[in-house]
Amino acid sequence: MSHEPLPDDVRRFVLASVPSVPYIESLLLMRRDAGATWNASQLAARLYVPVAQAAQLLESLRTAGIAVPVPEAEGVYRYQPSPELAELLDRVAAHYAGNLLAVTDLIHSSLNRRANQFADAFRWRKDS
């Protein structure tokens, strides 16, 4: 699988839904141990990111329907996507493991495109 092109659904998901490498890493970490619960401190320690960033990642995963808050514990989440999303995330995980470079390149190309679009919004135009 290492040099196969990414399937369209995986490409679309990465381009549309994965804002950063730490995001996909947190998603895959939670997926790998689906029965576990995670708080920002635990996630931060595993991903080597600041606790505040880990808290934002968990909230983003919740908003995306990938993680759900654990009712009896403040700031604690569990991996629990819908069955359809879980199936897609299984494919994303397989391609990430087998073709890390293609997936991370796609994430970075998406980030670069968004940065350029943002910069373009501030560019002076002669016709303005």
CATH of the domain at 41: 1.10.10.10
Neighbours of 10 (CB within 10 A): 22
Check whether 3 has a pLDDT greater than 60. Answer: no
Model confidence pTM above 0.85: no
**pLDDT more than 70, % of the chain:** 81
The rounded mean pLDDT for the chain is 84
Check whether 83 has a pLDDT greater than 80. Answer: yes
Q: Is residue 28 part of a domain?
A: yes
Q: Is residue 84 part of a domain?
A: yes
Check whether 59 has a pLDDT greater than 80. Answer: yes
Q: Is residue 87 part of a domain?
A: yes
Q: Is residue 85 part of a domain?
A: yes
Q: What is the DSSP string of the chain?
A: -TTSPPPHHHHHHHHHH---HHHHHHHHHHHHTTT-EE-HHHHHHHHT--HHHHHHHHHHHHHTTSEEE-TTSTT-EEE---HHHHHHHHHHHHHHHH-HHHHHHHHHHHHHHHHHHHHHTT---TT-
Check whether 110 has a pLDDT greater than 90. Answer: no
Q: Is residue 125 part of a domain?
A: no
- Parent domain of 87: 8-120
Residue-level pLDDT at 82: 96
Higher pLDDT, 46 or 112: 46
> Domain tally for the chain?
1
